[in-house]
Structure 1
Amino acid sequence: MNEMTRCAWAGDDSLMQAYHDAEWGVPVRDARTLWEMLMLEGFQAGLSWRTILHRREGFRRAFAGFDPVKVAAFGPADVERLMADEGIIRARAKIEATIGAARIYCAMAEAGEDFSDWLWGLAGGAPQVNDGVRVPAQTPVSEAMSKALKAKGFKFVGPVIVYAFMQAVGMVNDHAPECFRR
């Protein structure tokens, strides 16, 4: 197996390749990082991951390093500030959904519910390793996680978005059979 053979989606974009090589599919257990990735996947809806990845640092700056406590305190003036920020995707519904999701995250934490434990519990507790050939857009697990997230009030968490999130944070390993990361 060639050490530099990657999943085809990484293409020839150096940032996409670095993301593939160091992050995609690596199990993430940190609650704040999981929340950040779920929010970024929500912003991806209707767009490409490449678009989001190239703006990730802008998102981090605009959303206070994706600190849920700080984002939960955002108000109408912050929404307007974000709507004018060219470093992010300026979609009001997605911005407001992120602020709402920060409030949900904080409410869960205040109730003693760990976001990471909750999500990983929904995912079965351990990474699922697929064959990397037949990569679905969604699965029964992503459908159930989507339903649970929506029940808590999260938005932009349909089963396709959730499956992409699960791949990104290593709940699912869908690296191609020939990929050096498999």
Structure 2
Amino acid sequence: MTVITVPLPDYQVRTEPDHRRIGRRVDEAIRTHFAGHKIIARGVSADDHPDLTVDQLISIILHTGTDRYDPGRAGDRYDNVEAKHIDLFGFRRTVTRRMRLFEQLSWGFYHGSIEIHGRPTRLDVVTIYDATRLRAVLHRYAGRVDAKRDGYRFVEPGRQADAVLGVIKLGRV
């Protein structure tokens, strides 16, 4: 598994970042290291894991295959109308020369976090999964009628770490 550091000292959330400009740099790193792969990309903020450093969080992801290391801790949006099991949420992409991913991931974290927590969140880690090792879970959120395909479960739950192709560390300095 690969850990790729992308220095992003200008990526902050005090004001809304330029998601497209920041996204180009992260997408280029993904294209360089995972060209041609079908992936699921999951963003994580170290702010949601205050007892861990970014490097400790990455170590957990590499060893367990997920940032959901505490089964007793509830995650945002895991509840769904049908109570279906969801291991993680992410964006599915085929990594091509024209792929755009991080712009949407960053925008979603910024605006979704404001909606849910009242404050924006900066991403620190993007976990890149092999899409063939995850299955989409069609689900609906309470109060919404549209079906979503952003939830995934591991095909082989005991081999979650095998699903990780790599991790992008979004450097703060």
TM-score (norm 1): 0.31
Q: Where is the helix percentage greater, Structure 1 or Structure 2?
A: 1
Higher strand share goes to which structure? 2
